[in-house]
Amino acid sequence: MTDTTSYPPSKDIAEAAHIDKERYDALYAASVQDPEGFWAEHGKRVDWIKPFTRVKDTNFDYDDVSIKWFEDGTLNVAANCIDRHLAERGTQTAIIWEPDSDGDEAQHITYQQLHAHVCKFANVLKEMGVGRGDRVVLYLPMIPQAAYAMLACARIGAIHSIVFAGFSPDALAARITGCDAKVVITADEAPRGGRATPLKSNADKAFAKCGDAVKMLVVKRTGGAIDMTEGRDFWLHELEQDVSDQCEPEEMNAEDPLFILYTSGSTGQPKGVVHSSGGYLVYAAMTHEYVFDYHKGDVFWCTADVGWVTGHSYIVYGPLANGATTVMFEGVPTYPDAGRFWQVCEKHKVNQFYTAPTAIRALMGKGREFVDPYDLSNLRVLGTVGEPINPEAWNWYNDVVGKGRVPIVDTWWQTETGGHLLTPLPGATPTKPGSATLPFFGVQPVILEAESGQRIETTEAEGVLCIADSWPGQMRTVWGDHQRFKDTYFQQYKGYYFSGDGCRRDADGYYWITGRVDDVINVSGHRMGTAEVESALVAHEAVSEAAVVGYPHDVKGQGIYAYVTLMAGREPSDDLRKELGNWVRTEIGPIAKPDLIQFAPGLPKTRSGKIMRRILRKVAEDDFGALGDTSTLAEPEVVDDLIENRMNRG
Ligand code: 6R9
């Protein structure tokens, strides 16, 4: 996998960039030698109502985990993303909205217009009884109103929790009750790739499982037919008629939560990752500027959905805090054809483009004839995120999209980290295909031996990736469950933040992420807990037991492979396989639907009843020559059946 070719930034790029190699080295050294001094300085990049006097108060000791940054400062995040730009660039475009259909016109929303939209939205939320600290769930398509809603919450001090529009009613209901939301904001329908997801009717189904007090605010997107429940559901455009377009921003503490975002872990239900207002904004804005080498006037496009952390930090908060023009795209990379990304880059003269390896692989498969017709000469930085990028995809991105002249930033980070932790800087870091390269300022990565937890001091190392000290964008807690926060990230390796990823450090000190070391799989850059898919499967009346693992998938990176044992009296069939796939789809959402389901009369277990996932992974990978020791199994013969009936035949 390791391609050791190194691509240094060209002289032109290094000269024009904010940060060159020398400055990176100096700033990085300063950031880890004197974090207080470094962040006291860089914390000033946002506008504080009351400036902070305390910079860093963080503790990674398991018994006492606590993360606070700029803790006595006050600010408003929406004012930082909108109001402070009005004097200088009120008429500049803040958001370019590119709709699903390329036949529909794009919208250009200026900072002034953004201000009016957000204030109105904020006043509507207030009318609905939402105030400081209340939770608001967003279940929306990629439309400007998603950004307005986020910023409206921030303006009045409410905490938003976005649920990706691809999630099912059940998953939505769990998140609404999980954070005890007062209002859910949705739309009639979500158009994507020429098809529409019935968001409002999904939300209706979810509401059947929530308390009576929750209200729904509905954005009209397609005008499709929907049912409105009197007294519970309200149209945004109707309520907006009667409210002012001015709304004073609330003065919030740096440590007040800005948002909750549910993410999958290795055990149990998804957890609500809580991000702060001050530290998060400083970190999202600073990484956006330096990692993408953003300069005033640039057009920045991150293709993620706002339902994921990437959309939070690099469609909305980071770019808008920097006064950028940010592109918001409603559609998919292959609609109406595989040239859509590049057509949009040409049309809006995109300078920085940020996407996921799975999208690159899918487009690579369609051929360069979909790229070549478009003028991509405005591109200055290309970025990737979400999963390790294989060198073939990196090279295609570099050659076919970047024409060999555009630096690629492979950014490693997580929902929990708020912003990039390992990443090249375009003007500073020689890149190597497949490596997330070096730490961002203030980030102290360490590699520990997985079993012993010993820190490996040699430059070349392989083990689990931990971070030795806090950075401002770090999550603060798990919503309503601080113990779970401690247990998940600080228990296994004492004194460190444990990322859940495996990692190798090469002789140049470059980091290469090797993938999750826990029971989390990464499907098309989306995190999925195997336990979640398993519990959906066993909820089906025909299933007695299920075990889910990842396997290598050409486009998705990892696919979902499910082993299913049926209840006595039930027979395996293709129909049942289809039914189970659709079952998971409705229980969790399309992204969780297993790619392969193998019916197995028994699963390999130790005598104490623990499922031997190592064996299931090997069979799923078609690598059954390397099953290792099976002698500790209670019934070694089940393995023969697994191999015999494996689904993933090359
Ligand atoms: C931002 C985001 C986090 C997990 C992470 C890792 C994988 C993300 C990566 C990468 C290799 C990269 N991951 N970026 N692996 N190289 N550049 O994706 O957050 O959805 O929480 O996923 O994704 O395994 O632990 P999230």
The pLDDT value recorded for residue 608 is 66
Matching residue, tokens 């401002």 = 472
Question: 376, 345 in Cβ contact below 8 A?
Answer: yes
pLDDT in tens, 571-587: 999 999 999 999 999 99
Probe target for ligand 1 pocket from 273, 312, 360, 387, with the most ligand atoms within 8 Å of CB: 387
Q: Which atom from ligand 1 is nearest to the alpha carbon of 389?
A: 16
Give yes or no for residue 430 having a pLDDT over 90: yes
Give yes or no for residue 47 having a pLDDT over 70: yes
Question: 357, 384 in Cβ contact below 8 A?
Answer: yes
Contacts of 393 (CB under 8 A, 6+ apart): 357, 360, 361, 364
pLDDT in tens, 461-511: 999 999 999 999 999 999 999 999 999 999 999 999 999 999 999 999 999
The pLDDT value recorded for residue 529 is 86
The pLDDT value recorded for residue 285 is 98
Of the candidate ranges 166-180, 426-440, 512-526, 559-573, the one whose mean pLDDT is the lowest: 512-526
For residue 3, what pLDDT band results from cuts at 50, 70 and 90? low
Residue 527, annotated ligand binder?
yes
527 - beta bridge partners?
522
Probe target for ligand 1 pocket from 317, 513, 518, with the most ligand atoms within 8 Å of CB: 513
End-to-end CA distance of the chain: give it in Å, rounded. Answer: 20
Question: 522, 388 in Cβ contact below 8 A?
Answer: no
Q: Ligand 1 center to residue 131 CA distance, Å? A: 33
Structural tokens at position 224: 């499709």
Residue 481, annotated ligand binder?
no
pLDDT in tens, 233-290: 999 999 999 999 999 999 999 999 999 999 987 666 889 999 999 999 999 999 999 9
- Please tell me the residue having the least CA distance from ligand 1 atom 7: 387
Question: 413, 485 in Cβ contact below 8 A?
Answer: no
The pLDDT value recorded for residue 164 is 94
Contacts of 594 (CB under 8 A, 6+ apart): 533, 537, 548, 560, 561, 562, 580, 581, 584
448 - beta bridge partners?
455, 464
The pLDDT value recorded for residue 383 is 98
Residue 157, annotated ligand binder?
no
355-365 burial, b at 16+ Cβ within 10 Å, e below that, comes to bbbbbbbbbbe
For residue 613, what pLDDT band results from cuts at 50, 70 and 90? confident
- Reply yes or no: is the peptide bond before residue 336 cis, omega within 30 of 0: yes
The pLDDT value recorded for residue 81 is 98
For residue 439, what pLDDT band results from cuts at 50, 70 and 90? very high
How large is the average pLDDT for residues 637-649? Answer: 84
Q: What percent of the chain has pLDDT over 70?
A: 98
Q: Which atom from ligand 1 is nearest to the alpha carbon of 527?
A: 20
The pLDDT value recorded for residue 256 is 98
How large is the average pLDDT for residues 399-403? Answer: 98
How large is the average pLDDT for residues 526-550? Answer: 90
Structural tokens at position 526: 């989306």
Measure the CA–CA gap between 446 and 60, rounded to whole angstroms. Answer: 14
Q: Which residues line ligand 1 (CB under 6 A)?
A: 263, 308-310, 385-388, 410-415, 436, 499-501, 513, 516, 522, 527
Give yes or no for residue 2 having a pLDDT over 60: no
What letter would DSSP give residue 188? S
Helix, strand or coil, per DSSP, at residue 344: helix
How large is the average pLDDT for residues 631-639? Answer: 78
Name the phi and psi angles at 466, rounded to 5: -125, 165
Name the phi and psi angles at 16, rounded to 5: -85, -15
Q: Ligand 1 center to residue 414 CA distance, Å? A: 5
Q: Ligand 1 center to residue 8 CA distance, Å? A: 24
Give yes or no for residue 333 having a pLDDT over 60: yes
Strands 526-529, 511-516: pairing is unpaired
Give yes or no for residue 10 having a pLDDT over 70: yes
Residue 489: closest CA among 159, 308, 266:
266
| ipTM of this complex prediction, to 2 decimal places | 1.00
pTM, full prediction: 0.92
Question: 525, 385 in Cβ contact below 8 A?
Answer: yes
Residue 415, annotated ligand binder?
yes
Measure the CA–CA gap between 259 and 272, rounded to whole angstroms. Answer: 9
Probe target for ligand 1 pocket from 501, 520, 523, 528, with the most ligand atoms within 8 Å of CB: 501
Residue 386, annotated ligand binder?
yes
Q: Ligand 1 center to residue 387 CA distance, Å? A: 5
pLDDT in tens, 138-174: 999 999 999 999 999 999 999 999 999 999 999 999 9
Structural tokens at position 565: 């044992």
Give the chain's mean pLDDT: 94
Question: 548, 526 in Cβ contact below 8 A?
Answer: no
